[in-house]
Amino acid sequence: MRQRAGACLRAVICVAFAGIMTAMAPAAELTISGTRFQLDGKPFPFTGVSFFNAIYNPTFNASPEVRREWLGQFSRHGINVLRVWAQWDNRRGFVDASPEATLYHPDGTLRAGNVDRLKEILKDADATGFVIELCLFSQESYAHHIRLDPDPQDKAVAALTNELKPWRNLVFQIWNEKSLRTLDMLRVIKAHDPKRLVTNSPGFAGDLGKDDENAALDFLTPHTSRQGAGRTWEIAPREIASLLKKFNKPVVDDEPARNGTSKFGGPKEATQPIDHILHMHAVWEAGGHSVYHHDMFQTGYGTPACPPSGIPEPDFSPYHGAVFDFLANRERYWVGGKE
């Protein structure tokens, strides 16, 4: 009887230990091979969509089940990367923006509730084969004097790097459209997590970054030239190709030619879905990757461009639907076939 009880106890301990180890299992890891990405050693066709407000959107975060359903919708439309902002506290009236929509307190300590929500997103993203590109700081907030001084900024970056170390399906983008202390923060990140992939969006459209920063970053995420410069589907691929040739590392067209509102750097004249389809395909041909930019964020709730959910829904409008249909058939159109 005693032997049987001992055997049962050992079995229970083994099951419990296996459950703990499963819960602690590291997320799938995004790595780099030359100018391409790999997820757990397999080719990964980095294809994103802007979802800046993901951490702060109540619909997306209603429950893990709801969140995974939305991720499934994105996946069915060819998306495997979400570009998410840590700092969504600007005063421009963007969807879900508020003073509390940030991961940071002014003294550099982290807002625990928001960080915990990000961890839940990372967990569900890992379960559904997604990578999260987390933009740490935004020039939009900086322009409104919502900013951290250097010491609190380094403190926040170090703390966030340590908090998120288990999630390898995560890359850090230091700034949206700015380059200030970029190399300083890169050093902080690498000191705490040497394997974390780090990039930066150095400036407004057409700013391809400084050579010293581009050389130091793991991959590049410029905002290529927009409609004001001419035919973006011809200009942007040349910009991407030049960076690939010079730095021999992956290059993502991070917020390609905008659609919709002319505010905040948007197009001054009407665009067509085919503009974006030609643009992204040409970027693929050049050897780059793309993150599609949805126009809902700049218009806000209650406007025709913004779904009531506050989520960049693939099927919300015929315009976006055409682009997402193209991305859903990525393997058909990807240069050379499947990545």
Q: Where are the beta strands (DSSP E) in the chain?
A: 30-33, 36-39, 42-43, 47-50, 81-85, 131-138, 170-176, 198-199, 252-253, 289-292
Q: Which helix or strand (DSSP H or E) is residue 9 part of?
A: helix 2-24
Number of DSSP helices (H) and strands (E) in the chain, helices first: 12, 10
* Domains held by the chain: number: 1
What pLDDT, in 10s, does the model give residues 29-80?
A: 999 999 999 999 999 999 999 999 999 999 999 999 999 999 999 999 999 9
Answer yes or no: is 6 within a domain: no
Answer yes or no: is 9 within a domain: no
pLDDT at position 14 is 46
pLDDT at position 21 is 40
Average pLDDT, integer, range 175-200: 99
Concatenating the DSSP letter of every residue in 147-208 gives: ---HHHHHHHHHHHHHHTTT--SEEEEEEES--SSHHHHHHHHHHH-TT--EE---SSTTB-
What pLDDT, in 10s, does the model give residues 1-29?
A: 555 555 555 544 444 444 444 445 567 99
Q: How many CB atoms lie within 10 A of CB 21?
A: 9
Q: What is the mean pLDDT of the chain?
A: 91
Answer yes or no: is 253 within a domain: yes
Q: Residue 217: exposed, middle, or buried by beta-carbon count in 10 A (0-12, 13-18, 19+)?
A: buried
pLDDT at position 228 is 84
Q: What are the beta bridge partners of residue 132?
A: 82, 170
Average pLDDT, integer, range 277-299: 92
Tell whether pTM > 0.85: yes
Q: Which of 45-49, 210-214, 317-321 has the lowest mean pLDDT?
A: 317-321
Residue 135 is part of a domain; what is its CATH number? 3.20.20.80
- Helical residues (DSSP H) of 87-149, grouped into ranges: 112-127, 139-143
pLDDT at position 305 is 86
Domain that holds residue 101: 28-333
Answer yes or no: is 1 within a domain: no
Average pLDDT, integer, range 307-316: 95
pLDDT at position 17 is 44
Answer yes or no: is 123 within a domain: yes
Question: CA torsion sign, 265 to 136 to 84 to 221?
Answer: positive
Q: pLDDT over 70 for what percent of the chain?
A: 88
- Alpha-carbon distance of 275 to 234, in angstroms, equals 10
Answer yes or no: is 198 within a domain: yes
Q: Is the pLDDT of residue 266 over 90?
A: no
Q: Which helix or strand (DSSP H or E) is residue 339 part of?
A: none
List Cβ neighbours of 136 (8 Å cut-off, separation of 6 or more). Answer: 86, 87, 157, 160, 172, 173, 174, 175, 185
pLDDT band of residue 267 (cuts 50, 70, 90) is low
pLDDT at position 155 is 99
- Alpha-carbon distance of 56 to 125, in angstroms, equals 16
pLDDT at position 265 is 59
Answer yes or no: is 275 within a domain: yes
Q: Is the pLDDT of residue 296 over 80?
A: yes
Do 224 and 256 meet the contact criterion of CB atoms below 8 Å apart? yes
What pLDDT, in 10s, does the model give residues 133-154?
A: 999 999 999 999 999 999 999 9
Q: pLDDT over 90 for what percent of the chain?
A: 79
pLDDT at position 22 is 40
Answer yes or no: is 146 within a domain: yes
Q: What are the beta bridge partners of residue 86?
A: none
